[in-house]
Amino acid sequence: MTSSPAGQATAVPVLALGDVLLVTLQGELEDRAAERLQQDIAHRAGRRPVRAVVIDISGVEIVDSFLGRVLAEIAAGGRLLAVSTVLAGMRPAVAITLAELGLTLPGVHTALNVDRALSLLGRAPSDGPSAAPERGA
CATH of the domain at 24: 3.30.750.24
Residue 24 has pLDDT above 70, yes or no: yes
Q: Do 15 and 21 form a contact (C-beta atoms < 8 A)?
A: yes
In a domain, 129, yes or no: no
Helices (H), strands (E): how many in the chain?
Answer: 4, 5
What whole-number distance in Å separates Cα of residue 61 and Cα of residue 114?
17
* Average pLDDT, rounded, for the chain: 83
Please give the average per-residue pLDDT across 79-99, as a whole number.
93
Domain count, the chain: 1
pLDDT one-digit tens code per residue, 90-119? 999 999 988 998 888 888 999 999 999 999
In a domain, 26, yes or no: yes
What whole-number distance in Å separates Cα of residue 46 and Cα of residue 44?
5
In which domain, by residue range, is 80 found?
Answer: 14-120
